[in-house]
Amino acid sequence: MKSSRNIFVPIYWTVALLALAAAVTLLLRYTPTEETMGPIQKIFYLHLPLAINTFFAALTVCIASVGYIAQKQTYWDDLAAAAAKVTLLLATGVLATGMIWGHSAWGTWWTWSPRLTFSLMLWLLYAVYLIVRSSIESPQRRAIVCAVYGLTAFLDVPIVYLSSKLLPDVHPSSIQLITPMKITLLVWFVPVTMIAAGLIATRFSLNRIQRRREQERREKSSRVTVAVRAGANGRRVPGGLA
């Protein structure tokens, strides 16, 4: 089981990087330049997959939070923590690529349009999630507080999606694409989704290892405390360190 996982992980990342190389090649050699916006429109092929994967990562946080509230299993908490980190990373990518596009197309790095404002709010919500995680020491308390927070933070995702459709916004709600552009967009979804999913999975496994180490350390220190107390009382502790 362990050896098959050892083979799977490098294969997965190799395929993701090959898909990324194919997507870049397609962008440079095949995709036509859009007539009105020019080369800057090509940011779209990265910007949209990043945005959609931000939503999926936030959905993972939400599902894992519900899982923790329902079952109180630590792996749900570890999954939520992993997905929240990746949500923040992807949201940073969306904001950064969007700002660069905006500076070239609108002449400003930032404007308080509904879509941009709610996207920034999403970034802040998950940044605060990670701050909350690191500020609570008790693992059980941290898990339940973050589960409730993670569930609530997801409410911003439909607001981001609907904002430019329902409210007047400088951000376009959709872009008309010709077939080669649609193909490029679909191809770009493959590496970005694979990398995002791979990052969540890797972070999750690292969180599991860190939790196990932390538990072992806590058990060891409690054994030492028991042994020291028993030693002070002049008793022998069966299986203890004394």
Task: Out of 4, 11, 39, 137, point to the residue binding another protein (CB under 8 A).
Answer: 39
Does 206 interact with another protein (rule: CB under 8 A)? yes
Question: Binding string, 91-110, against another protein, x = CB under 8 A?
Answer: -xx--xx--xx-xx------
Per CB under 8 A, the segment of 39-47, 139-147, 175-183, 217-225 that binds another protein is 39-47
Per CB under 8 A, the segment of 41-49, 64-72, 114-122, 231-239 that binds another protein is 41-49
Task: Out of 19, 31, 47, 116, point to the residue binding another protein (CB under 8 A).
Answer: 47
Binding residues with another protein: total (CB under 8 A): 32
DSSP string, 38-49: BGGGGGHHHHHH
Q: Which of 176, 194, 178, 175 is nearest to 22 (CA)?
A: 194
CA dist., res. 175 & res. 173, Å (int): 7
For the CB of residue 57, give the shortest distance to another protein in the complex, in Å. 12
Nearer to another protein, 37 or 159 (CB): 37
CA dist., res. 203 & res. 7, Å (int): 18
Per CB under 8 A, the segment of 132-140, 162-170, 206-214, 232-240 that binds another protein is 206-214
CA dist., res. 149 & res. 146, Å (int): 5
Q: How many CA atoms lie within 13 A of 175 on its CB side?
A: 20
Q: Which of 19, 3, 2, 12 is nearest to 192 (CA)?
A: 19
Does 61 interact with another protein (rule: CB under 8 A)? no
**Sites for another protein among residues 165-194 (CB under 8 A):** 192
- Helices and strands counted in the chain (H then E): 7, 0
Does 46 interact with another protein (rule: CB under 8 A)? yes
Does 195 interact with another protein (rule: CB under 8 A)? yes
Task: Out of 26, 40, 124, 197, point to the residue binding another protein (CB under 8 A).
Answer: 40
Per CB under 8 A, the segment of 45-53, 64-72, 128-136, 178-186 that binds another protein is 45-53
Residue 76 and residue 67 in contact, taking contact as beta carbons nearer than 8 Å: yes
Binding site for another protein (CB under 8 A): 13, 20, 38-40, 42-43, 46-47, 50, 86, 89, 92-93, 96-97, 100-101, 103-104, 192, 195-196, 198-199, 202-203, 205-206, 209-210, 213
